[in-house]
Amino acid sequence: MTSSVPPKSLKDQIRWQLWLTIAANFALFYVVAQSDAFAASGVSGLLTGAANLLPVGLALIVTTIANGLLDASMKARLVFLRWNFALPGHRAFSVYAVADPRVDVARLRESIGELPTTPADENRLWYRLYKQIETDPAVTQIHREFLFTRDYAAFSFLFLLGFGVAALFLISEWKVALLYLLALIGQFIVVRHAAANYGIRLVTTVLAQSSARSRKDQKSSKKSQRGRNDQND
């Protein structure tokens, strides 16, 4: 008798990637915070300044805890820059379905009936379609990318707050501090934009796959109907 290992959830699959981003930001902050020691003594200055890791570690701990306080709704608001109806599913049919050439809106309307007109109804219907095909490889892949970039965007926002404020106290050279803050801002802007694109892509991929499946179901229904007609003849 063999025991099967349950597959990892998408969040478990991206966990190591998120920790790599945390470690990279931690390392960069430490190097920047010790820029004076590095300029004076080179690499040995970085090693000597290891005793100053306490405030860096505190900043990392505060950032990690703060991320746990951000629920999915707050992360969506950060990524899509909307307070109400932030998720792209709230605009799945009225905006994204008609804009994506992969989505056959007519087929969707034939299979699910009249399309919703309010943001809440749009998101509910889209989620229902998603649950029907969530294991589809194309959907799983884009969902994984969205979850990673969404959480990375949340972390980068917290890095900007936590490490950014700490840098003002630890970095004496204002030019270095300014460049570091600009790098944190740039990181958040780039990752947030990528997460928003992946989120929209997830919505349209689900709609495209659903419309394609409805077309296949309709064709198979016609074939079976012809087969029954032939038998009757």
3-state secondary structure of 173: coil
Higher pLDDT, 220 or 103: 103
Tokens of 23: 């470690």
Which of 16-30, 43-57, 104-118 has maximum average pLDDT?
A: 104-118
Per-residue pLDDT, 59: 57
In this structure, which amino acid lies at residue 193? H
> DSSP letters of 122-153?
HHHHHHHHHHHHTTSHHHHHHHHHHHHHHHHH
What span, in angstroms and rounded, lies between the C-alpha atoms of 210 and 104? 9
Query: What's the domain count of the chain?
Result: 1
In this structure, which amino acid lies at residue 108? L
Residues in the chain: 233
What span, in angstroms and rounded, lies between the C-alpha atoms of 221 and 215? 10
Largest CA distance in the chain: 95
Whether 228 is covered by a domain: the verdict is no
Per-residue pLDDT, 133: 92
Task: Write phi, then psi, for 166 (nearest 5 degrees).
Answer: -60, -35
From the list 57, 28, 53, 49, the residue with the least C-alpha distance to 180 is 28
Per-residue model confidence as pLDDT tens digits over 149-203 = 999 999 999 889 888 887 877 777 778 888 989 999 999 999 999 999 999 999 9
Whether 3 is covered by a domain: the verdict is no
Q: How much of the chain exceeds pLDDT 70, in percent?
A: 74
Give CA separation, 50 vs 4, 34, 41, 165, 178, in Å.
45, 9, 14, 20, 23
Per-residue pLDDT, 46: 47
pLDDT band with cut points at 50, 70 and 90 for residue 220: very low
Whether 1 is covered by a domain: the verdict is no
> pTM for the complete prediction?
0.78
Tokens of 3: 């025991």
Whether 78 is covered by a domain: the verdict is yes
pLDDT band with cut points at 50, 70 and 90 for residue 2: very low
Give CA separation, 48 vs 44, 77, 166, in Å.
6, 42, 20
What span, in angstroms and rounded, lies between the C-alpha atoms of 175 and 119? 46
Per-residue model confidence as pLDDT tens digits over 100-155 = 999 888 888 888 888 898 999 999 999 999 999 989 999 999 999 999 999 999 99
CB atoms within 10 A of CB 212: 15
Residue 139: give the domain boundaries: 12-222
Tokens of 43: 């690499």
Whether 230 is covered by a domain: the verdict is no
Per-residue pLDDT, 185: 95
What span, in angstroms and rounded, lies between the C-alpha atoms of 145 and 198? 7
Whether 80 is covered by a domain: the verdict is yes
The backbone region for 104, taken as left when phi is positive above 0, alpha when psi lies in -120 to 50, beta otherwise, is: beta
